[in-house]
């Protein structure tokens, strides 16, 4: 038998392609190579070592501005004091004013205050000399100092056993201040204090202590920290604006608060650490330099930065031959500043500590080559992301489309459902349905009446009371069915309402369900569907939660991460699939009705069931017929996938916008995005054309195109 098996024949073979197709494929490959990522880049530390001239451990650093000159002060053990007027290039060692370790410092306008380990407080005066403000007479260890107003009256010192000391504002003596203890509801050891202005401030301490003040430190209110940090030592706090507060524990847990008054604190799940809640390093200090950029400093040479409020924390490379435990930052702006640490280490950065890429010149985005070099990685990511949702979307949409088309063409009517069944059973079932229906209907209706809507406003009940609306709808349907069944007398008569006649027995329930579905999806805009499904229903996050509840945490890589790692991805494929399915359904239904009815009869006549004939006879022919129009729907799906940008999915269009945000090259960016889309859709169209040719069967349908 010289049987050529169509089924196992390869869809693609180079020699079988015509010349036009070959050239097209080569252009495709060229374009893909052209946007492929550049390799061979390397990174180096964003921190530079600066000679400090001391070996003492440096504990704290501040910046003060005087006559438009920024001076950085650094303080350390055994009274070490350093300053630099040239952005940390050269450091001047100052004469000691105390032999104790200087453990904390702060600045306000031109004032710098420091706290020594024996409780001494000093302030620098306008002429550059230090003034002793006296010693806090405390038996408890002191930990931090802050100054919140001009002069010497707004100084606050905190320490062990819940101690908060304030300088007395009533004092007239310039040199020696009186100290009094502010009220504090707790007695745990306080570790760090930060003020936003001269009224709002936060103190953090051991055992998850968080205190908040709105009156310049006169009174402090307790704030609940997340459960996981109740036993942690909160070592550092940053107060960037009324809605951005961050704190860190010594174990590397990041807490954030975005509510005014620091009411709620959340533990950040660190995406870059597998959604762990801890950095796993011992942290000494954080510095919040913008609403989302946080710098971390810790023991064992640890420095890191997060650009997005702690979700992704990038560990910094440390310059060679430096080993230290880093204690404090002093940042001039969000990029430039220093970090100080043990053994006299001072490091400078002008990139917020971010690692530098080396091996590239500084890009000039007016040069197309440099622009492409910058944007190709992002575009390729977008390209992959688009292909990913499109691939899954097409698969999902096609399955839905086939299912819906089968539902729509299903011949089962209400009549055929009960025909031949004993009338007593039908009536009993009808009675049961009516009672259930009325019960559901009534419950749903009661739900709505609580909504207190008027007139036309009732069209919004599906969102106002989804549960009630579902009960209401199902209730009405079931009641209708029940009454119909009760009244059935085997004659299947029509209902006459004046001039209108209506045959309830011809209702096809499966068809009705599919029709409601397709009508809904085809009569609402896709962009709204995206936002409703992702933000409204949180479908992606729900799916992740279900998976994590049943199977376990989603890893950082692997199949589960690929499929479920991104909630926007899940929502996007669902939206695209559900939407495309509604359109594909009509196309497939058209193809099914194009198959002669004799084919169904022939299938049934050899004893196949309805579904068996559908599967083995009708669908294989219908699908072949509808490859061209389905291809059209698939191309539409690719183009529609660009709307996934509104839910934050990083597909091609969104990447295009990001590229423009950095480079401002609008024409090039959108042009390249357009070319990338063309590559995807055109490849898809080629594949479908090939598929159509390969599956063509003589005598089936009119297939003219090539």
Partner 1 sequence: MADVVLSILDLEKIYPGGVHAVRGISFDVHEGESVAIIGSSGSGKSTVLRCINRLIEPTKGVIELRGKQINTPNADVNNVRSRIGMVFQSFELFAHLKVLDNVTLGLRHVRGMSKSDAEKVAIEVLERVDMLERINAYPGNLSGGQKQRVAIARALAMKPEVILFDEPTSALDPELIGSVLQTIRGLADEGMTMVIVTHEISFARDVADRIVYLDNGKVAEEGPSSIINEPKTDRLKKFLSSMHEDKIIENVKKES
Q: Which residues bind partner 1 (CB under 8 A)?
A: 1-4, 419-421, 596, 598-599, 601-609, 612, 616-617, 620-621, 624, 697-700
* Nearer Cβ to partner 1 (7/552): 7
- Structural Rg of the chain based on CA atoms: 36
- DSSP conformational letter for 386: H
Report the nearest approach of partner 1 to the CB of residue 15 (Å). Answer: 24
* Nearer Cβ to partner 1 (674/697): 697
Q: Phi and psi dihedrals of 61, rounded to 5? A: -145, 145
Give the C-alpha separation, 636 to 589, whole Å.
Answer: 18
Do 236 and 296 touch, CB atoms closer than 8 A? no
Place of tokens 């350390």: 76
* Nearer Cβ to partner 1 (389/627): 627
Do 222 and 213 touch, CB atoms closer than 8 A? no
Nearest to 194 by CA among 160, 253, 147, 232: 147
Place of tokens 């440390």: 318
What are the residues whose beta carbons fall under 8 Å from the beta carbon of 386, sequence distance 6 or more?
Answer: 638, 641, 642, 651, 652, 676, 677, 680
Do 338 and 67 touch, CB atoms closer than 8 A? no
Q: How many CA atoms lie within 13 A of 131 on its CB side?
A: 16
Report the nearest approach of partner 1 to the CB of residue 691 (Å). Answer: 14
Q: Which two tokens stand for residue 64?
A: 């003060």
Give the C-alpha separation, 585 to 651, whole Å.
Answer: 26
Give the C-alpha separation, 614 to 201, whole Å.
Answer: 72
* Nearer Cβ to partner 1 (103/406): 406
* Nearer Cβ to partner 1 (123/625): 625
* Nearer Cβ to partner 1 (218/493): 493
Give the C-alpha separation, 194 to 149, whole Å.
Answer: 13
Report the nearest approach of partner 1 to the CB of residue 440 (Å). Answer: 30
**Residue ranges in 196-278 assigned as alpha helix (H):** none
Report the nearest approach of partner 1 to the CB of residue 503 (Å). Answer: 10
Report the nearest approach of partner 1 to the CB of residue 419 (Å). Answer: 7
* Nearer Cβ to partner 1 (552/598): 598
Give the C-alpha separation, 32 to 327, whole Å.
Answer: 48
Report the nearest approach of partner 1 to the CB of residue 4 (Å). Answer: 8
Report the nearest approach of partner 1 to the CB of residue 501 (Å). Answer: 14
* Nearer Cβ to partner 1 (2/362): 2
Place of tokens 């589960």: 560
- The residues that bridge with 255 in the sheet, in sequence order, are 247, 267
Report the nearest approach of partner 1 to the CB of residue 499 (Å). Answer: 20
Report the nearest approach of partner 1 to the CB of residue 609 (Å). Answer: 6
* Nearer Cβ to partner 1 (3/362): 3
């Amino acid at each position: 038998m010289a049987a050529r098996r169509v089924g196992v024949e390869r869809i693609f073979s180079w020699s079988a392609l015509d010349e036009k197709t070959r050239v097209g494929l080569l252009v495709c490959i060229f374009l893909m190579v052209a946007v492929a990522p550049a390799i061979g880049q390397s990174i180096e530390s964003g921190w530079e070592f600066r000679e400090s001239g001391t070996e003492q451990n440096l504990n704290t650093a501040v910046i003060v501005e005087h006559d438009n000159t920024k001076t950085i002060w650094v303080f350390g053990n055994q009274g070490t004091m350093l300053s630099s007027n040239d952005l940390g290039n050269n450091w001047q060692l100052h004469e000691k004013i105390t032999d104790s370790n200087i453990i904390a410092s702060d600045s306000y306008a031109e004032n710098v205050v420091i706290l020594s380990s024996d409780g001494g407080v000093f302030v620098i005066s306008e002429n550059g000399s230090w003034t002793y403000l006296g010693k806090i007479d405390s038996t408890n260890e002191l930990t931090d100092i802050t100054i919140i107003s001009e002069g010497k009256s707004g100084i606050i010192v905190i320490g062990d056993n819940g101690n908060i000391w304030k300088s007395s504002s009533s004092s007239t003596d310039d040199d020696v201040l009186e100290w009094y203890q502010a009220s504090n509801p707790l007695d745990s050891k306080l570790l760090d204090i930060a003020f936003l202005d001269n009224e709002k401030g936060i103190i953090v301490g051991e055992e998850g202590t968080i205190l908040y003040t709105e009156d310049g430190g006169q009174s402090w209110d307790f704030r609940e920290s997340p459960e996981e940090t109740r036993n942690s030592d909160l070592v550092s706090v940053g107060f960037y604006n009324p809605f951005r507060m961050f704190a860190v524990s010594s174990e590397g847990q990041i807490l954030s608060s975005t509510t005014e008054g620091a009411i709620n604190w959340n533990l950040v799940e660190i995406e870059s650490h597998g959604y762990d809640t801890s950095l796993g390093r011992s942290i000494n200090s954080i510095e919040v330099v913008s609403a989302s950029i946080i710098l971390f400093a810790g023991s064992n040479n640890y420095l890191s930065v997060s650009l997005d409020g702690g979700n992704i924390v990038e560990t910094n490379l440390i310059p060679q031959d430096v080993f230290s435990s880093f204690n404090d930052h002093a940042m001039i702006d969000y990029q430039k500043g220093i970090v100080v640490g043990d053994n006299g280490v001072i490091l400078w950065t002008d990139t917020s500590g971010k690692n530098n890429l080396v091996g590239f010149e500084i890009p000039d985005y007016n040069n197309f080559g440099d622009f492409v070099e910058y944007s190709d990685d992002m575009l390729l990511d977008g390209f992959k992301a688009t292909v990913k949702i499109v691939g899954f979307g097409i698969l999902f949409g096609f399955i839905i489309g086939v299912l819906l088309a089968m539902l729509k063409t299903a011949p089962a009517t209400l009549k055929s459902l009960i025909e031949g069944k004993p009338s007593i059973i039908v009536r009993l079932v009808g009675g049961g349905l009516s009672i259930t229906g009325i019960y559901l209907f009534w419950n749903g209706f009661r739900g709505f009446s609580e909504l207190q809507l008027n007139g036309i406003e009732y069209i919004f009940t599906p969102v106002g009371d989804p549960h009630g609306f579902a009960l209401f709808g199902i209730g009405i349907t079931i009641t209708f069915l029940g009454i119909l069944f009760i009244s059935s007398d085997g004659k299947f008569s029509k209902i006459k309402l004046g001039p209108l006649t209506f045959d309830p027995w011809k209702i096809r329930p499966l068809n009705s369900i599919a029709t409601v579905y397709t009508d809904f999806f085809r009569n609402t805009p896709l962009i709204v569907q995206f936002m409703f499904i992702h933000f409204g229903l949180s479908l992606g996050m729900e799916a992740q939660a279900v998976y994590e509840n049943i199977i376990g945490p989603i890893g950082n890589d692997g199949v589960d991460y690929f499929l479920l790692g991104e909630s926007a991805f899940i929502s996007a494929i669902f939206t695209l699939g559900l939407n495309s399915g509604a359109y594909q359904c009509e196309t497939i239904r058209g193809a099914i009705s194009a198959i002669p009815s004799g084919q169904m009869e022939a299938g049934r006549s050899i004893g196949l069931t309805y579904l068996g004939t559908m599967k083995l006879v009708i669908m294989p022919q219908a699908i072949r017929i509808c490859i061209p129009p389905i291809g059209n729907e698939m191309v539409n799906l690719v183009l529609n996938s660009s709307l996934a940008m509104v839910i934050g999915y990083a597909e091609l269009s969104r990447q295009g916008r990001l590229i423009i945000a950095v480079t401002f090259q609008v024409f090039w960016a959108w042009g390249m995005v357009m070319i990338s889309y063309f590559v995807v859709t055109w490849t898809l169209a080629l594949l479908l054309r090939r598929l159509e040719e390969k599956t063509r069967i003589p005598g089936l349908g009119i297939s003219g195109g090539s």
